[in-house]
Amino acid sequence: MALLQVNNLTKSFGGNVAVNQVNFHLEPGKITALIGPNGAGKTTVFNLISGVLKPTGGEVFFKGRKITGLKCNQIAAMGLTRTFQNLQLFGNMTVLENVMVGEHTRSKTGLLGAALRLPGTKQEERLVRQRAVEHLKVVGLEKRGEEPAENLAFGQQRLLEIARALAADPEVLLLDEPAAGLNAGETRELVGLLRRLKAAGKTILLVEHDMDTVMGVADKVVVLDFGAKIAEGTPAEVQANERVIKAYLGDDEDGE
Ligand SMILES: Nc1ncnc2c1ncn2[C@@H]1O[C@H](COP(=O)(O)OP(=O)(O)OP(=O)(O)O)[C@@H](O)[C@H]1O
Ligand SMILES: [Mg+2]
């Protein structure tokens, strides 16, 4: 059975159908890329899956359970975490603290308990900190833990956002354009990280514009255009697909 199943997912904003009857599924332990021109509906699909938006129609099943209608935190607690196209870090908190925030979505006492210093939270806090250091190691930022997050270069902030998402120990990770704004070297590092996460058993849905990156990591590609799925297959298959080529050529004028 698919780990995540998206059935006829639809979202309209007024008269604008941003996501139109989209179907696809995620295989456990695989990387699926979700691609398409600007405004194709990729981020809206993420918002619908992760519970940020309610669909106009259709359903999402995670581990066999219907999650459409559940709140973000309920879906996160089941093991599905996402990152954002626009970074959502706490710039004045340290790098380590940003990862700890991610951990608190699953810890017993939670963020509030920690803030109030309730009894029994001290030891848990220590464990949360230890685990956060481990997550920073995964993305190669363990030496920067005590610095304010805003000190990090942009590419490193993207890695930090992934570390924070990992801190919730998700089975499924949704990454919305993690390579946006990265230089060639940083993109290579990101690709390496994605491969390591896959090797560690994570299931990943990746929004990515750069075809080389997609070709390098994706097992399967789903292509959206004007809200609808126009193709699905291996990276090589979609790259050779006439409809996909046409959709991307039509998008040429803004240079992406
Ligand atoms: N909250 C919203 N209210 C109204 N319209 C929205 C909202 N969010 C997205 N849209 C519209 O839905 C469509 C799809 O947008 P979406 O952000 O999902 O595209 P995208 O594929 O992620 O694009 P990009 O590659 O630029 O990030 C666009 O026409 C957009 O203007
Ligand atoms: Mg988007």
Q: Is 16 in the pocket of ligand 1 (CB under 6 A)?
A: yes
User: 54-59 long-range contacts, Cβ below 8 Å, gap at least 24?
Assistant: 55/9, 55/10, 55/11, 55/19, 56/10, 56/11, 56/12, 57/8, 57/9, 57/10, 57/21, 58/6, 58/7, 58/8, 58/9, 58/10, 58/21, 58/22, 59/6, 59/7, 59/8, 59/9
8 Å CB contact between 246 and 240: no
Look up tokens 């809206």; give the residue. Answer: 44
DSSP-assigned letter for residue 87: -
Ligand 2 center to 32 CA (angstroms): 16
Q: What pLDDT is recorded for position 103?
A: 80
Q: What is the pLDDT of residue 84?
A: 85
Q: Hey, whose CA ends up nearest to atom 4 of ligand 1?
A: 13
- pLDDT over threshold 80, residue 112: no
Name the pLDDT band for 102 (thresholds 50, 70, 90): confident
Alpha-carbon separation of residue 60 from 24, 25, 42, 106, 241 (angstroms): 10, 9, 15, 22, 27
Between residues 255 and 16, which one has the greater pLDDT?
A: 16
Residue with tokens 């405004």: 39
Residue range 236-256: mean pLDDT, rounded: 78
Q: Is 55 in the pocket of ligand 1 (CB under 6 A)?
A: no
Quote the pLDDT of residue 115: 60
Would you state the structure tokens that stand for residue 86, as one six-digit string? 């626009």
Q: What residues have a C-beta under 5 A from ligand 2, the ion?
A: 42-43, 85
Name residue, tokens 């700890």.
100
Ligand 1 centre to CA of 124 (Å) is 40
The verdict on the CB of residue 43 being under 6 Å from ligand 1 is yes
pLDDT above 60: residue 185: yes
Give the tens place of pLDDT for each residue, 29-58: 999 999 999 999 999 999 999 999 999 999
Mean pLDDT of 123-134: 87
pLDDT the model gives residue 252? 52
Task: Give residue 159's pLDDT.
Answer: 94
Is the CB of residue 12 below 6 angstroms from any atom belonging to ligand 1?
no
pLDDT value of position 120: 64
Query: What domains sit in the chain, N to C, each tagged with a CATH number?
Result: 1-80+194-256 (3.40.50.300), 85-169 (3.40.50.300)
Distance 88 CA to ligand 1 centre (A): 18
Alpha-carbon gap, residue 198 to 201, rounded angstroms = 5
CA of 122 to the centre of ligand 2 (A): 39
Statement: residue 101 has pLDDT above 70: yes
User: In angstroms, rounded to a whole number, what is the distance separating the alpha carbons of residues 80 and 57?
Assistant: 21
- pTM across the whole model: 0.90
The gap between the terminal CA atoms of the chain, to the nearest Å, is 35
pLDDT for the residue 106: 58
CA atoms of 200 and 85, how far apart (whole Å): 24
